A and B are shown apart, each in its own frame.
Chain A
Amino acid sequence: MSRIAVTSEGPTLKDMVDPRFGRAGGFVLVDPETMEHEYVDNGQSQTMAHGAGIQAAQVIADSGAKIVLTGYVGPKAFEALRAAGIKIVQNLDNMSVQEAVEKYKSGSVDYASQSNK
């Protein structure tokens, strides 16, 4: 199963999901079967005036992840993720990265068909 990218406020599974996609603190890349994970920092997005979502989409696409779990995705980032064939789960907030992945694995989430921001 391919890796899942979760927007995160920190590097571990215990850190909270960052509801922002483009300006997330970083991305925890999780193998949903083994729960092995690594972290990609996204701190540089804070200094970007525009285009943080597009840049973040590029980072996710280059990481090889095929699914993103996050809170809110803007229209440009959404278009970019979709072009890369990445599926998007939105509206996740107030939970840890681990909880988000568990929720995804339980099947109780839907893939987004359009940007929610």
Chain B
Amino acid sequence: MIVSIASGKGGTGKTTVSASLASVWKKPVLAVDLDVEEPNLHLFLNPEISHQEKIYLEIPVVDESKCTLCRMCSDLCQFQAIKVMGDTLLTFTEMCHGCGGCLAICPEGALSPGQRELGILSQGSSQGKISFLMGSLRVGEAMSPPLMTIVKKRMMKILEKQKADAIIDAPPGVSCPAVCAVMDSDLIILVTEPTPFGFHDFRLAWESFSSMGKPMAVVINRAGLGDNSVYQFCDEKKLPILASIPYDRNIAQAYSKGQVVAGLSPELEHKFSDLARALQGYDREAPYA
């Protein structure tokens, strides 16, 4: 099964939960950092990276001698990445989403495939028991979903080969990158803190992800802070709260040193083992399990 750990608000504890879950997972597990704009799961799992590769997006390169300025490519492009200006066909390759439509539609063969570097895919394993996969976006690259999509394809291959479950550390927010991270998962865990800010963005995330019709469950982090609004909302929407991590200075300290929170105390390890068991229960409910 694929479990994604998401949130609306940033800094609520996605990586804390992801790293802890991976460390207590009973079955073979692949930890995937899909927060490609600022991946940090590796800081906690300390994987040995055995394989790295640069990832590219296919973009159009113009042969002006063949272009007749017919505009079929620019009419097709939804992202203003290719435009006829005067008597020149201009490309704005940083706008390109890599769909390949312009290359396919050009009747003159004036476009050929080029490359834009998206970032780096890294693969490895942590303590020999957690497989690890991460995307790191190139500094200056504006779009993360194309890289995420390639990392997810690799994830699927690894899962098939290793018969493993995946825990995805998703990016925060509710826009394309967040949706891209959770859309292939069997279960979405929303990590929130019970503060007004946490609740506001939690609700946005719930609204945004609800349309995918996937089971969702909640982990409350920094329990003891804030107010009752998250709890009330979960009650109303029948969203199960599967774990509650206390607001505790020791946890913050451990996090700041890159320690896995589940390893801090027997109580915390139990908490995450119980959470892992609850999540694996969803797997049994899944029709194809």
Query: What count of chain A residues pass the 8 Å CB interface test?
Result: 15
Total A-B pairs in contact (CB under 8 Å)?
Answer: 39
From B79, B84, B86, B90, contact of A79 by CB (8 A): B90
Q: Bound state CA distance, A102 and B80, in angstroms?
A: 33
Q: Bound state CA distance, A58 and B144, in angstroms?
A: 27
| Contact bitstring B53-81, A, C-beta under 8 A = 1, else 0 | 00000000000000000000010000111
Q: Are B80 and A54 in contact (CB under 8 A)?
A: yes
What's the nearest-Cβ distance from chain A to residue B255, in Å?
A: 34
8 A Cβ contacts from A37-57 to B: 48, 50-51, 54-55, 57
Q: Are A76 and B92 in contact (CB under 8 A)?
A: yes
| Contact bitstring A17-61, B, C-beta under 8 A = 1, else 0 | 000000000000000000000000000000010110011011001
Q: Bound state CA distance, A54 and B74, in angstroms?
A: 11
| Contact bitstring A49-89, B, C-beta under 8 A = 1, else 0 | 01100110110010000000000000010011101110000
Residues of B close to A81: CB separation below 8 A: 85
Q: Are A55 and B86 in contact (CB under 8 A)?
A: no
Q: Are A85 and B86 in contact (CB under 8 A)?
A: yes
Say whether B88 faces chain A, with CB atoms less than 8 Å apart: yes
Query: What count of chain B residues pass the 8 Å CB interface test?
Result: 12
Say whether B95 faces chain A, with CB atoms less than 8 Å apart: yes
What's the nearest-Cβ distance from chain A to residue B258, in Å?
A: 36
Q: Are B80 and A84 in contact (CB under 8 A)?
A: no
Q: Are A54 and B92 in contact (CB under 8 A)?
A: yes
Say whether B83 faces chain A, with CB atoms less than 8 Å apart: yes
From B80, B85, B92, contact of A61 by CB (8 A): B85
Q: Are B83 and A54 in contact (CB under 8 A)?
A: yes
Q: Bound state CA distance, A76 and B90, in angstroms?
A: 10
Q: Are A83 and B80 in contact (CB under 8 A)?
A: no
What's the nearest-Cβ distance from chain A to residue B179, in Å?
A: 14
Q: Are B79 and A50 in contact (CB under 8 A)?
A: yes
Q: Are A58 and B85 in contact (CB under 8 A)?
A: yes
Residues of B close to A76: CB separation below 8 A: 92, 95
Residues of A close to B81: CB separation below 8 A: 51
Q: Are A84 and B92 in contact (CB under 8 A)?
A: no
What's the nearest-Cβ distance from chain B to residue A44, in Å?
A: 12
15 A-B contact pairs sorted by A residue (CB < 8 Å)? A48-B80, A50-B95, A51-B79, A51-B81, A51-B92, A54-B83, A54-B92, A54-B95, A55-B80, A57-B83, A79-B90, A80-B85, A80-B92, A83-B86, A83-B90
